[in-house]
Structure 1
């Protein structure tokens, strides 16, 4: 509900952004084996598929600059690795997700919590 309110407000101001941090991709539904991630600066991609014996397998891929860098079994592991890679590679947060990443970094992860911007 709150996310839809923010999108409505942004649409009225002309600031609509479709940038997402997390995307799901189902190998059974999609036509291609590779998802369209060329325009993703940083993010996480849930890849799910059903095997021949009807078991569901899911992996979380860390995406940086349009490439799958690594695949991990859990969302928590992928999220921590995403932040570690951002720091190790000295990447900037994507402009559209800067406040989201700042909130996660400073509030949820407790890193550098004394220096919060007013928006965070």
Structure 2
């Protein structure tokens, strides 16, 4: 278990005590997507004590997209808001981190 905890820790890119960005373990740092997570009380719907409120991913075009959760919108049939498209994953991570407090949190 100690090795698993150490492995998980290096996947956390940014952490302010409430929000953190964690890189997906399936892939290397240059190509893997990641998640914006917010700590919350442990419950049936959040057994790990966090909720996913956004993320970043590489698009088919090669650009990186960052998005955050938003209240469901019937017109667009979406519950997320894109915060931008970027040439690098570092740019997507930076903008995602800056937008973390704008994410719609349910817990």
TM-score of Structure 1 vs Structure 2, range by shorter chain: 0.3 to 0.5
Greater Rg over alpha carbons, structure: 1
Normalised by the length of structure 1, the TM-score is 0.34
Higher helix share: 1
Higher strand share: 2
